[in-house]
């Protein structure tokens, strides 16, 4: 893996649906080169579906789940604000009164409380119900 591959991964990390043409313009390589490299990164298991299983600094990440009860009268605004939080990687709306379930990814456990206290819980209409750290990914 070289600097071109790293640039490709960074672009895909920000927008996994970025076109090969747009990537080639950003990286300064031909579209054919980008296609070939993305195919190789996919074959090597670094790119999986629309998710990248790679971190630039190669340090393990701390992952956790956060369950919240939103004020459903304000759900569109709440979702819009949650989508702006970079550390939130996935958001699911659950059936019934279950609320929202999110997966977050942070550099270390020390970043968790600031994420909760300074970002998520600051959103009006959000009540944090439960947080759990992911200790092992089975599938």
Rounded CA separation 103/53 (Å): 15
| Token couple for 127 | 């009540």
Return the SS3 of 13.
helix
**Phi and psi, residue 57, nearest 5°:** -90, 0
The CATH architecture that domain 62-133 belongs to is: 2-Layer Sandwich (3.30)
pLDDT (tens digit, 9 = 90+) per residue, 10-64? Answer: 888 878 888 999 999 999 999 999 999 999 988 888 887 665 555 555 566 789 9
Average pLDDT, the chain: 88
**pTM, entire model:** 0.58
Domain with CATH 1.10.10.10 in the chain: 3-52
Return the SS3 of 25.
helix
Fold for the domain defined by 3-52: Arc Repressor Mutant, subunit A (1.10.10)
Domain with CATH 3.30.70.920 in the chain: 62-133
CB 102 within 8 A of CB 65: yes
């Amino acid at each position: 893996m070289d600097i071109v591959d790293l640039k490709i991964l960074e672009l895909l990390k920000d927008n996994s649906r970025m076109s090969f043409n747009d990537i080639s313009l950003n990286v300064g390589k031909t579209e054919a080169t980008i296609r070939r490299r993305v195919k190789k990164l996919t074959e090597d298991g670094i790119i999986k579906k629309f998710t990248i299983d790679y971190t630039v600094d190669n340090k393990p990440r701390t992952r956790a789940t956060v369950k919240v009860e939103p004020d459903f009268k304000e759900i569109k605004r709440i979702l819009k604000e949650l989508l702006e939080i970079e550390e939130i990687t996935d958001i699911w709306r659950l059936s019934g009164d279950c609320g929202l379930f999110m997966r977050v990814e942070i550099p270390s456990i020390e970043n968790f409380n600031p994420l909760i206290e300074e970002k998520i819980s600051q959103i009006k209409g959000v009540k944090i119900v439960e947080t759990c750290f992911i200790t092992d990914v089975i599938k």
